[in-house]
Structure 1
Amino acid sequence: MKYKYFKSSLLAISFFQLMSLTACSKTVKAKEINIEIKNTLGFSRNEIISLQRNKLQPLLDKNNPKNIRVKEYGTDQYLVTQWVDNDGDGKGDELLFQANVAANATAKYVIMLDTIQVAEPKAKTYSRFVPERIDDYAWENNKVAFRAYGPVAQQLVEQGKEGGTLSSGIDLWLKKVDYSIIDSWYQKNVANPGYYHIEHGEGYDPYHVGASRGTGGTGLWENDSLLVSKNYVSYKTIATGPLRTVFELIYAPWSIYGLQEVKRISLDLDSNFSKFEISYRSNKRIPNFTIGITLHDKKGEVNINKPKGWFRHWEPIDSVFVGEGIVLCPKLIDTAFVHDSKTTDQSNLLILTNPDDKITYYAGFAWTGSKQIKDVMDWDAMLEKQAQIIAHPLVIKIEK
């Protein structure tokens, strides 16, 4: 507000009115938070940004968190946002939005209050427990889909009954559309068993896990053998929404070490990689913590890039090619190698790590049928980018 706009009527405005105008001006100013996001890498990045609740406190005081909006500086269009309640207390702990930052550049965003609604995109992230297929847990975004297996599926195998799966490996669903397919494929599979194993135009599930690690399954390497857990025993869905899905899978203690894992898994919109944040405890110190990728019938190609922390398998499945990969901080890696076994499902690319009691890694894939990649060089380039993203996270500066 400039002085010349009220100069002629200054004498008519009381002291209390002036104080009210001043307070109003301060309130408006407090209802915006400016953010700078810096990309130090030589390629553009489209990533989900997480802002912790305490960083947004000036906007939250006596205001509804649902009215917080985000827009790129200099524009009037609000971006899609998502609150994530990590501890289940009914309050959002972090606010998510998707930032697009050019190579070696800085992008500016504004956080503010507004009651205008923002339409969610058609593509979103999703996960759920699937009782209609025994007790799978499945998750997806607009690029990829995965699933893990639960205790009832394990019991069926142990009881010698049909239909079960005994595996703590991670399964891949090769989707080629950007919309959600989990509910549809499972529903159609109930009416027509085996439906999602056949290509109907949206993709399919030709990927075999069995007792292998799938892509991202874990274990312990000891005496030239891989020790692994059984199926997850319980789950917890933490978030689904337009930008990120988060859930936990809990595994019963296993091996002579009494190792108990809690796998917190998240998947962001537009990403080909699930993020695994695993915390564990054991009765005694474990020799290592191993992450694997199945080699199936050993007709694929392996690339071990220990210095940069990415590991790749490229294999033909039916008439297409699938690239699977693991990416993690190189400092966590002890060694990596191909374990070639004559036993079915026991040939794996193995990465041995030595974390304390927690480890974070990314497991993902792409396939030529989705048109996301054309060949193995594209897949290697995607893995290389993911490794650089992990090593050089976006730098977020909140202006006060």
Structure 2
Amino acid sequence: MKRHFILITILASSFALHSQNKIITITNTLSVDREFETVELTQKILGLPSSAKLEELAVKEANSDLYLESQAVDNDGDGIMDVLLFQPKIAASASKDFEIVPSSNTPGTKNINCYSRFVPERTDDYAWENNKVAFRTYGPVAQKMVEDNIPGGTLTSGIDAWLKRVEYPIINKWYEKMTSGAGTYHKDTGEGLDNFAVGNSRGIGGIAVKADGKYYFSKNFISWKTITTGSIRTSFILTYADWDANGKKITESKFISLDYGSYLSRFEINIKGAKTIAAGITLHEKKGTTGNNIKEGWLSYWEPIEDSEIGMGLVAPKNTMSSFDNYVTDEKELSNLYGNIAVKKNKAVYYAGFGWKKGSPFKTKEEWETYLSSFATKINNPLVVKLKK
């Protein structure tokens, strides 16, 4: 009797697991091939009960043994995975079916392609990267060092760029090289370098609030929280001390993410005290060329950088960037190209990033702006996910 009970339990468990297998159809509504775009699956989209664990699921092509990289993410920190991420490749104006299966069947190990962390050994940076680009920004210790006239500090809420030209992660390697005295990330030995000056500018994607013709912005972040790192996405939250914009108290935090294959980080700004934010790109020595298409929702700046060139860009979802300001001043590091982005329900969303001529396929301003235009079209026309009945 006991053997029969065990057998029935095994069969029942097998049936329950098999019954969770779902088929989804991904449709590309654009007349261009799509890849390196992240699809987010939830329990609701998959028609699964709240007890289902997304981390126990994997994605494969229907009628095929080809498994796709996937990553489960707990966005709100409650211990329950909220989304299952994957990046399908879909031909122009086409649809493709994928099967959601138990992850125990998935072959191989997952790579950490998208990575971020707090860096206390280099004062208190927060750095992030994927296989294309890398960024960092600065914390309270670096700020206090400047305020106390201690060498080595940094006072800015601007976003710094690390110009990598390899697909593999470099953050830990470069910091180790610097802190151990074995070398410097300010010199290119084949992987890229940090020669991007952020200073008090907005760097690539820092924000400001304009009041009475002047731009105001926060100091360094005061706290951080890593949400996820993995094969598809890294994401984290930075919180800032309340700051003043000409008498208005501004409360700000940033939810930043970077997906595999993208040259642009996604910024979700949670802000109180402003109806519009100005997301900025530094103009450095004002030797570059700006570009814009407000209808499509992007701004660009292409400039020389030492013996190469770099394209910087901002992209906002449709109808959220109302205008731009090519703000040029003689004040040091304060010339920025600003995109004015609407705040709705205390939130504003945009994407910001760069393409370095030595580390990307973008060799001209026109090629860079073609990428920004394509990126804008794709975020406004996301891949369509439908559960197959």
TM-score (norm 1): 0.89
CA distance 1:122–1:115, shift in 2 (3 Å): closer
Structure 1 residue corresponding to 2:277, chosen from 277, 286, 289: 289
**2:4 alignment counterpart:** none
Q: Is the Cα contact below 8 Å between 1:59 and 1:113 reproduced in 2?
A: no
Matched letter for residue 210 of structure 1: G
Which string of whole-angstrom CA distances, capped at 9 and with x for unpartnered residues, describes residues 113-161 of structure 1?
A: 2523433455610000000110000000000000011011111111111
Q: Secondary structure at the match of 2:162?
A: strand
* Compared CA separation, residues 68 and 322, structure 1 to 2 (3 A): same
The reply to whether residue 364 of structure 1 matches residue 356 of structure 2 is: no
Query: 1:302 is matched with which residue?
Result: 290
Q: Distance in 1 between matches of 2:27 and 2:370?
A: 22
Alpha-carbon contact 2:130-2:259 (below 8 Å) kept: yes
User: What is the root-mean-square deviation of aligned Cα atoms in Å?
Assistant: 2.3
Task: Label 1:116 to 1:53 Cα distance change in 2 as closer, same or farther (>3 A).
Answer: same
Residue 234 of structure 1 corresponds to which residue in structure 2?
A: 223
Which of 153, 156, 170 lines up with 1:164 in the alignment?
153
Aligned equivalents of 2:323, 2:47: Cα separation in 1: 45
Residue in structure 1 matching 2:253, options 249, 262, 266 = 262
Are the counterparts in 1 of residues 26 and 385 from structure 2 also a CA contact under 8 Å? yes
1:52 paired residue among 23, 28, 42? 42
Q: Mean Cα displacement is larger for which, 155-164 or 117-126?
A: 117-126
Does structure 1 residue 32 correspond to structure 2 residue 21? yes
Q: 1:227 to 1:97 in 2, by over 3 A?
A: same
Query: Is the Cα contact below 8 Å between 2:209 and 2:278 reproduced in 1?
Result: yes
How is 1:167-186 mapped onto 2 (pairs within 5 angstroms)?
Answer: 167-186=156-175
Superposed, 1:7-46 pairs within 5 Å as 27=16, 30-46=19-35
State whether residues 123 and 178 of structure 1, in contact with CA within 8 Å, keep that contact through their aligned partners in structure 2.
no
For the residues of structure 2 that align with 1:167 and 1:98, how far apart are their CA atoms? 34
2:270 to 269, 279, 286: 279
Matching residue within 65, 73, 78 for 2:67: 78
Alignment of 1:61-140 (within 5 A): 65-120=54-109, 122=111, 124-140=113-129
The amino acid across from 2:198 in the alignment is V
State the 1:39 CA deviation. 0.8
Contact 1:82–1:97 (CA<8 Å) still a contact in 2?
A: yes
Percent identity for Structure 1 against Structure 2: 42
Indicate the larger mover: 174-183 or 355-364.
355-364
Return the alpha-carbon distance in structure 1 between the equivalents of residues 196 and 382 of structure 2: 32
SS in 1 for 2:358: helix
SS at match of 1:45: coil
Q: 1:98 to 1:369 in 2, by over 3 A?
A: same
Partner of 2:308: 320
Query: Hey, which bits of structure 1, 4+ residues long, moved more than 6 A?
Result: 22-26
Q: Which residue number corresponds to residue 179 of structure 2?
A: 190
Counterpart of 1:266, as a letter, is: S
TM-superposed deviation, 1:363: 0.4
SS in 2 for 1:259: strand
1:130/1:136 contact within 8 Å kept? yes
Give distance in 1, aligned partners of 2:126 and 2:146.
18
How far the C-alpha of 1:329 sits from its partner, in A, is: 2.2
Corresponding residue of 1:396: 385
Instruction: Say whether 1:332 aligns with 2:323.
Output: no
Once residues 267 and 339 of structure 2 are traced to their aligned partners in structure 1, the CA distance between those partners, rounded to angstroms, is 15
| Shift, 1:243, TM fit | 0.7
How big is each residue's C-alpha offset from its partner over 1:11-46, in whole Å with a ceiling of 9 and x where there is no partner? Answer: xxxxxxxx99x9799647623201111111121111
Residues 280, 336 of structure 2: 8 Å contact kept = yes
Cα 1:54–1:225 shift into 2, 3 Å: same
1:90 Cα shift?
1.9
Rounded to whole Å, the distance in 2 between the matches of 1:179 and 1:235 is 24
Aligned partner letter, 2:117: R
3-state SS of the aligned residue for 2:368?
Answer: helix
Question: Cα 1:194–1:228, aligned 2, differ >3 Å: closer, same or farther?
Answer: farther
CA distance in 2, matches of 1:293, 1:365: 10
Greater Rg by CA: 1
The 1:57–1:307 alpha-carbon spacing in structure 2 relative to 1, beyond 3 Å, is closer
Instruction: Report the more deviating stretch, 46-55 or 241-250.
Output: 46-55
Number of equivalences: 379
